[in-house]
Amino acid sequence: MEIERKFTIKQLPENLESYPFHHIEQGYLNAAPVVRVRKEDDEYYLTYKGSGMMAREEFNLPLSQEAYYHLREKIDGKIISKRRYLIPLLHPAVQEGSRKPPADYSLTIELDVFDPPFAPLVMAEVEFGSREAAEAFVPPDWFDEDVTYRKEYHNSYMALEI
């Protein structure tokens, strides 16, 4: 189960280049259900995502390089290319009245900096272990709008609509 929230951001972190990152290229074979092929650095995947906006089933199957490029030729819409920075978020804030997380609780912000034709879009995604944790999350100050429930910010929609 993938449980994540998506946000636009107000500004890039000052030290962005100090964080590890992955170069991601992906395309979509189907939108409902989502069937995606992805190249992440030197690894290749076929992904199925069920319905839903914040929480949905997700299955990743490894692909060979040859299989990826074969399927890539069959995608609909545009290829999405982006650099994904992995930014640790130690001791994230939670809404008042929510269950207090363990002292060692941390999350990872996946900050996506999109290449053309989607540039200058930058979005942050945060994955959670439960719906309760996702709903209790208080985003950092440099996050802007919560776009979790806005389809136009989901990669499958973007790839097929632009």
Question: Given the DSSP bridges, would you call strands 43-49 and 143-146 parallel, antiparallel or unpaired?
Answer: unpaired
Question: What length does the chain have?
Answer: 162
Put residue 117 in one of left, alpha, beta given phi > 0 → left and psi -120 to 50 → alpha: alpha
Distance, in Å, from the CA atom of 148 to the CA atom of 135, rounded to the nearest integer, reads: 11
Active site residue 28: yes
How far lies 119's CA from each of 41, 99, 102, 112, in Å?
20, 38, 38, 10
Residue pair 141/9 in contact (Cβ under 8 Å)? The answer is no
- Choose, from 28, 44, 85, 153, the residue flagged as catalytic: 28
**Cis omega (within 30 of 0) on the bond before 117?**
yes
Supply the residues annotated as catalytic: 28
